[in-house]
Amino acid sequence: MKPQIVTFLIKCPDQKGIVSKLTHFFYQEGFNLVSAQQYANSIDDMFFMRLRIASDHSVVISRDQLEERFVRLAAAYDIVWKVDYGVSKQSVAIMVSHTTHNLYDLLQRNKEQKLNCNVKMVVSNHTKLKSIADMFDVPFYHLPVTKETKKQQEQQLIDLFDGQGIDLIVMARYMQILSNDFINHYPNKIINIHHSFLPAFQGANPYNRAYERGVKLIGATAHYATEDLDEGPIIEQDVERVTHESTPKTLKDIGADIETMVLARAVKCHLNNQIIVDNNKAIVFPETGE
Sheet holding 168-171, edge to edge: 140-142, 117-124, 90-96, 168-171, 190-195, 217-224, 234-241
Q: At 14, is the secondary structure helix, strand, or coil?
A: coil
Count of beta carbons in the 10 Å neighbourhood of residue 65: 11
| Annotation says 253 is catalytic | no
What are the DSSP E strand ranges found in 56-149?
80-84, 90-96, 117-124, 140-142
Distances from the Cα of 94 to the Cα of 125, 160, 185, angstroms: 12, 12, 17
Q: How far apart, in whole angstroms, are the C-alpha atoms of residue 100 and residue 285?
A: 29
Q: Is the distance from CB of 55 to CB of 4 less than 8 angstroms?
A: yes
Nearest CA among 114, 44, 83 for reference residue 276: 83
The dihedral region occupied by 173, where left means phi > 0, alpha psi between -120 and 50, and beta the remainder, is left
Q: Considering 14, 230, 238, 278, which one is annotated as catalytic?
A: 230
Q: What is the largest CA-CA distance in the chain?
A: 66
Residue count (the chain):
290
Q: Is the distance from CB of 222 to CB of 237 less than 8 angstroms?
A: yes
Q: How far apart, in whole angstroms, are the C-alpha atoms of residue 22 and residue 51?
A: 9
Catalytic residues: 230
